[in-house]
Structure 1
Amino acid sequence: MVIDTMSEVPSLILDGNSPRNFSRLNRASIARNSTVARLLPILVSEVRRTGQTASKYFPAGRDEHMQRLIAVPVLGPSGDVHAVAAWAGPLHEPLPRMPIIGALSWTPSGVVTTTPPAQFLFRDPSGDLLTGHTIPQMLSHFDIWDDRATFLEMFNVTKLSAPAPTDQWCGTATKTYEDGSPHQLFLAARATGTGTARVVRAVVADITGGVDPSRPDLTLVAIRHMPIPPGHALALCDLKTGFVHEWLTAPTSPLASWRHHNPEFSVDDRLAVANACFDLASGLADTASIRAHVRFSPTSEWIELVGHWTLLMAGDRPQALIDITPLSTIPTPVVADCPMCQDMAQNNSPAS
């Protein structure tokens, strides 16, 4: 079982391969034993405080055969304990193989930092390290990401949403590994803080075969297969957070490298972008057109572009599709000191 320790009160998030929605610890299968139920919170608290594996031994029933309860920390990228993996069984039995459990954290702008186990489970097909990726770069490698709208709601980016963002989310995500096999990953995430101090932390584990496969998001499938005019890019934007979570271009387009950097709008254009998000999210408009200037690092050149926004979905989580066309020359590479931008510029050059 896996116990979430990313909030003050620990909760159950995985029982074997079965997801649990931040349930109480006494709902765990091993907590059917009254002694385990009593010792488990004590052991979790110790592991959380020390960051070290801990165990307890106790007799089981009248025959007095000794049992053991062992708890192992799952450390996050900054060294704090994101979760605890726990097991209980007879002392003479060998310990089961520890499942691969990764940990991640995101900044308010959606830039991720990971641990090596999370890197292994997410497996960027290009072999690039996941740390430093943006939300659209990360999501682009998944076939399905359940309840994406609620996941995005944890990121308090533009404060366009009147209600407070959600502070917890759990769901499954499906991706195809390099050998062609589909894998279903379970993630549980919690967010703390507000504004620029907000941090979203998560744990991830492979539960392939443990639950029924998720149904594909047909809207997302259709968007990812839309024809894209030359020189254009398409973006799917969550209007309440202002988050672009899908970035679609031709593979050889210089616009492809924009996916793994967050854009910075010029001071004069930020209000226009925020107003467009608000107008579409609140139903004041179905379309919008904005001419703006963006760059992708403090030392990069400003790029002028025009974006045509179309409301796709209203309701609690309004979404818009943006057709983006650069009006000025795109620097090559887009970010001079970015290795991925350099590789893409080289691979897409006429000489290559």
Structure 2
Amino acid sequence: MSDKEVGNLDPSWDDWLVIETLGFTDGIEPTVVARGDQKRQFTRLNRQPGPVKVKETVSKVVAEVVAKGEPVVEPTSGFGPDVGVAACGVPIFGPEAVVYGVQVWVGLVTATPPPPESVGTFEFDVERQVTKHGPGHDEQILGLQDDSDTRTLQEIWKHFDRFDDEEAYREYLDSLAADEFESGHEFAAEIYLTSADGVHRRIQMSVRSKKTTAGRRILGLLHDTTEGEKPHSMSDRQIARAATQLAAQDADSGIAQIDLNTGIVFEWLKTPPAPFDQWEKQNPEFDIRTTKTLADARAAIQSGSIKSDTITATLRFPGDDDSWKLADLTISAIGEADHQQERTIRVAMIQIGHPCSSLPAGMW
């Protein structure tokens, strides 16, 4: 479009650009992950439509917002000498007030921009298997009101209804846990969920890996793109939850999905009995013997050597005041290994039950 043609139009954008800056400190160029509720796949800023001067201004605004941690307004040109246009940038804050992204809108200086997109943020600690959320995320995305500083995956994933790229995301987690890639490795997926307050949402997740001296992390944006989305039908995940609840409703046990490679418990399909129901919000600590026995059991099931294994585990939760507990843990494979195709079993069910009393005082 020529400058003459542009000058005859209102150049104000209808939507905000959602730009991730998750790899900014590692020298990775910010990219566009959405325009309004329309997703983009980590698209470079210079590939966006519009005058070159506007794109240069947008890049400048993004850098300034990241550096200052506050909104920035910068005049721009490219729409003719008599057209007053500015680029506005607002930060998307992650945990601990770090800027994870920037929303940018360009328009006439006399125009009122539309409301910014609803974007949450998170940081996942791969070693500790806990997630920190940015401001507003828990209320806006998950509908939670308890102001918890950290959450386990089980606490979050139980809200998921449909996650078509779940297997690919598990592989992404595996690769990061195994140090197979450096900071900045990207991943994007669409997730359908039902929040704690009963609202159906469609979320576009955009993440990058981050390796720090404190360990491996996944930094992410969660963009609520629900508006205009038709209500989603019953998913396989919902059916599986309902079936599991019915099958196990009389059993004194909890049932969850576990990744055999990493040992991450992703979601409790049936809440464990007390006192092990704490596992829904806090990951337990296992004693040395249990840690090794669990790892051996996972490896054997993953290779297809055995289909199931039951161990007596010694564990405790944060705040238990050194009170160790005994529990029976049963891990059962989902699917079959295929040695000819070098395919191992990836996911299993873990069952916890038969709570025993705490170990005798002085045993540890």
Equivalent residues in 2 for 1:220-239 (5 A)?
A: 221-226=239-244, 227-228=247-248, 229-239=250-260
Aligned partner of residue 47 in structure 1, secondary structure: helix
Query: Per-residue CA shift, 1:262-321, capped at 9, x if unaligned?
Result: 021110121111122222223333322222211112624222122222211455771001
Aligned to 1:175: 193
Equivalent residues in 2 for 1:134-145 (5 A)?
A: 134-145=152-163
Q: Give 1:224 shift.
A: 4.6
Unaligned runs of 5+ in 1: 332-352
Q: Give 1:9 shift.
A: 1.8
- One-letter amino acid of the structure 2 residue matched with residue 24 of structure 1: R
Aligned to 2:14: none
Indicate yes or no: 2:142 matched with 1:123: yes
Q: Give 1:327 shift.
A: 4.3
Question: Is the 2:200–2:231 contact (alpha carbons within 8 Å) kept by the matching residues of 1?
Answer: no
Indicate how the Cα distance of structure 1 residues 207 and 131 shifts in structure 2: closer, same or farther if over 3 A, else same: same
Aligned to 1:293: 314
Equivalent residues in 2 for 1:69-108 (5 A)?
A: 69-108=87-126
52-61 or 251-260: which moved more? 251-260
Aligned to 1:324: 352
How many residue pairs match? The answer is 327
Question: Is the 1:26–1:32 contact (alpha carbons within 8 Å) kept by the matching residues of 2?
Answer: no
Q: Give 1:225 shift.
A: 3.0
Aligned to 1:267: 288
Unaligned runs of 5+ in 2: 1-16, 338-342, 360-364
- One-letter amino acid of the structure 1 residue matched with residue 140 of structure 2: L
Aligned to 2:37: 17
Question: Is the 1:141–1:175 contact (alpha carbons within 8 Å) kept by the matching residues of 2?
Answer: yes
Return the alpha-carbon distance in structure 2 between the equivalents of residues 78 and 210 of structure 1. 32
Query: Per-residue CA shift, 1:38-94, capped at 9, x if unaligned?
Result: 222222122212222222223343463121111111121122210010111222211
Query: Per-residue CA shift, 1:175-209, capped at 9, x if unaligned?
Result: 33466442212222222116951122222221113
Q: Give 1:96 shift.
A: 1.7
Aligned partner of residue 75 in structure 2, secondary structure: strand
Equivalent residues in 2 for 1:150-169 (5 A)?
A: 150-155=168-173, 163=180, 167-169=185-187
Question: Is the 1:57–1:67 contact (alpha carbons within 8 Å) kept by the matching residues of 2?
Answer: yes
Aligned to 2:226: 208
Indicate how the Cα distance of structure 1 residues 277 and 194 shifts in structure 2: closer, same or farther if over 3 A, else same: farther
Return the alpha-carbon distance in structure 2 between the equivalents of residues 47 and 162 of structure 1. 31
Indicate how the Cα distance of structure 1 residues 312 and 156 shifts in structure 2: closer, same or farther if over 3 A, else same: closer
Return the index of the structure with the highest Cα Rg. Answer: 2
Aligned to 2:298: 277
Q: Give 1:259 shift.
A: 1.0
Return the alpha-carbon distance in structure 1 between the equivalents of residues 232 and 50 of structure 2. 30
Return the alpha-carbon distance in structure 2 between the equivalents of residues 68 and 88 of structure 1. 6
Aligned to 1:34: 52
Aligned to 2:5: none
Aligned partner of residue 92 in structure 1, secondary structure: coil
Aligned partner of residue 65 in structure 1, secondary structure: coil
Q: Give 1:329 shift.
A: 2.7
Indicate how the Cα distance of structure 1 residues 86 and 309 shifts in structure 2: closer, same or farther if over 3 A, else same: same
Return the alpha-carbon distance in structure 1 between the equivalents of residues 155 and 123 of structure 2. 15
Indicate yes or no: 2:209 matched with 1:188: no
Query: Per-residue CA shift, 1:209-241, capped at 9, x if unaligned?
Result: 356776765156314531224321112101122
Indicate yes or no: 2:129 matched with 1:110: yes
Q: TM-score, normalised by structure 1?
A: 0.81
Aligned to 1:338: none
- One-letter amino acid of the structure 1 residue matched with residue 286 of structure 2: F
Question: Is the 2:65–2:102 contact (alpha carbons within 8 Å) kept by the matching residues of 1?
Answer: yes
Question: Is the 2:90–2:102 contact (alpha carbons within 8 Å) kept by the matching residues of 1?
Answer: yes
Return the alpha-carbon distance in structure 1 between the equivalents of residues 154 and 254 of structure 2. 13
Question: Is the 1:134–1:261 contact (alpha carbons within 8 Å) kept by the matching residues of 2?
Answer: yes
Indicate how the Cα distance of structure 1 residues 253 and 4 shifts in structure 2: closer, same or farther if over 3 A, else same: same
RMSD after superposition: 3.1
Q: Give 1:242 shift.
A: 0.9
